[in-house]
Structure 1
Amino acid sequence: MTTQYPVLWPVPTRWADNDHYGHVNNVTYYSYFDTAVNAWLMHATGTDIRDLPALGVVAQTSCQFLGSLSFPDQVQVGLRISRLGRSSITYDLAIFRDTDGALELAATGVFVHVYVDAESRKPVEIPAVIRTAAETLVTD
């Protein structure tokens, strides 16, 4: 399953991620998606994406929970792109629990960035530096 994702991005669980029931709260999975996508973008582009004239805002996100996580689990987020449009990118994501290199699927999700002008907030084309990096994650 992990071979379906060109990038596996490490995201540590935190003590505060656990809820009263002793597992990572469901809303935190969305934080892992957001962290992995934006950290990978900064790494892949070699730039601070917050300084670009266009911002990627989250227009849609979803998650299917398949397994439980708990602090101090180590997590890898699989990233791939199923659609690279003019002004939007659709990421397919997977969260894996990493137990000494053995990866167990805990969740899958979708995350859509729409690029908007930093000032007007109107949709614009994906910045070239982002598009170049994103092309490496496009899957059929």
Structure 2
Amino acid sequence: MSANQPLPQRGEFKVLRPMQTRWMDNDHYGHVNNVAYYSYFDSAVNGYLMEATASDTRELSAIGIVAETSCRYVKEISFPDVLHIGMRLEKLGNSSVVYQLVVFRGTDTDPSAIGRFVHVYVDQKTRRPVPIPPVIRAALERL
């Protein structure tokens, strides 16, 4: 996402996952530390997939591993903020998916952070890329 593009807005997301900041997320400067955002992204994606597939995705023969992440910080969040993580797809490939994840504080319509998260599906045993399992693909297509 370039600096010239408009910021994504809350109403643009079909899926918003609730997330509670934790006391331990704050750093010495009084705001949520950058590393916590990646935990929010991971929890939002995997929570959505488990709910949308009604399965424990860790038990599938193909699992999604994180190949790339990034985050653009727009404004601070802090404990005890309640967040909503907006989720949508940037790209759905044969063996990979690219998510856009946006952090909204409370009822804010503009983002606090904008993330990118890439999952590559691999065979659970060999760790070689494989097609996205049909049950996962169906859940992703709903995004």
TM class by smaller structure = over 0.9
CA distance in 2, matches of 1:15, 1:33: 18
Of 10, 18, 43, which residue of structure 2 is paired with 1:2?
Answer: 10
Give the unaligned 5+ runs of structure 1.
none
* Match status 1:65 vs 2:68: no
Give aligned pairs, total. 135
Report the Cα offset of residue 136 of structure 1. 0.8
- Hey, what does 1:112 align to over in structure 2? 118
Whole-Å separation in 1 of the counterparts to 2:141 and 2:35: 29
- SS for the counterpart of 1:105 is coil
Alignment of 1:5-84 (within 5 A): 5-84=13-92
The AA in structure 2 aligned to 1:127 is: P
Residues 3-61 of structure 1 show CA distances to partners (whole Å, capped at 9, x for unaligned) of: 22110000110010000111100111111111100001101111010010011000011
| TM-score using structure 1 length | 0.94
What is the TM-score when the length of structure 2 is the normalising length? Answer: 0.92
**Which residue identity does 2:123 align to in structure 1?**
D
In proportion to residue count, which structure has more strand? 1
Deviation of the 1:103 alpha carbon: 3.9
Name the residue aligned to 1:135: 141
Structure 2 unaligned residues grouped into runs of 5+: 1-8
1:104 to partner: Cα distance = 4.2
Give secondary structure in 1 for the equivalent of 2:111: strand
Deviation at 1:91, TM superposition (A): 0.3
**Corresponding position of 2:97:** 89
The CA RMSD over aligned residues, in Å, is 0.9
- For residues 11 and 122 of structure 1, the distance between their equivalents in structure 2, rounded to whole angstroms, comes to 32
Identity %: 55
Runs of 4+ in structure 1 displaced over 2 angstroms? Answer: 101-104
Cα deviation, residue 102, structure 1: 3.8
| Conservation of the 8 A alpha-carbon contact between 2:100 and 2:114 | yes
